[in-house]
Amino acid sequence: MNTHGSYIKKVKPYTRLKRRILILAMISIAFFLWIFAGSERVSAQDTDAEQKQKCYKSIEISYGDTLWNIAEKYMNNDYDSVQAYMKELKEINGLSGDKIYEGKYLMVPYYN
């Protein structure tokens, strides 16, 4: 009986050790998967940022052009609205109002 009792005592610490190692391994795997998934998200964002580069070009204002129709022509989905694009046009070109003049030039942003 002594032999059988000591065998059971030895099995318990070994079983606890196996469980601890298994739990530690699962936590480690989960941690590395979390880190890997996070780095993939950052890489995807970096790729989008690298693909879209903001550029500027100078355009000549023609008869009948308005800031609104120029904004509609050159804006893209990176802007929330035509008004947002017009605001940037005004800032870039030092305009205080919406009035523009034929024969003058405007710098317009676009994405490459």
Question: What pLDDT is attached to residue 39?
Answer: 67
- Token pair 């022509």 is found at 73
107 and 57, same structural domain?
Answer: yes
Q: Which domain holds residue 61?
A: 53-111
What CATH number corresponds to the domain at position 92?
Answer: 3.10.350
My answer on whether 43 and 64 are in the same domain is: no
Domain identity same for 105 and 58: yes
- pTM attached to this predicted model: 0.54
pLDDT, position 101: 93
Q: One digit per residue, pLDDT tens: the chain, 112 residues?
A: 555 555 555 557 777 788 888 899 899 888 888 887 776 665 555 555 567 788 999 999 999 999 999 999 999 888 899 999 999 999 999 999 999 999 999 999 988 8
Rounded CA-CA distance 19/24 in Å is: 8
| pLDDT value, residue 37 | 78
Helix (H, G, I), strand (E, B), or coil: what is residue 31? helix
8-state DSSP, 57:
E
Which residues does residue 59 pair with via DSSP β-bridges, in sequence order? 106
Please check whether residues 60 and 27 belong to one and the same domain.
no
Neighbouring C-alpha atoms within 13 Å toward the C-beta of 20 = 6
Within this chain, do residues 47 and 57 fall inside the same structural domain, yes or no? no
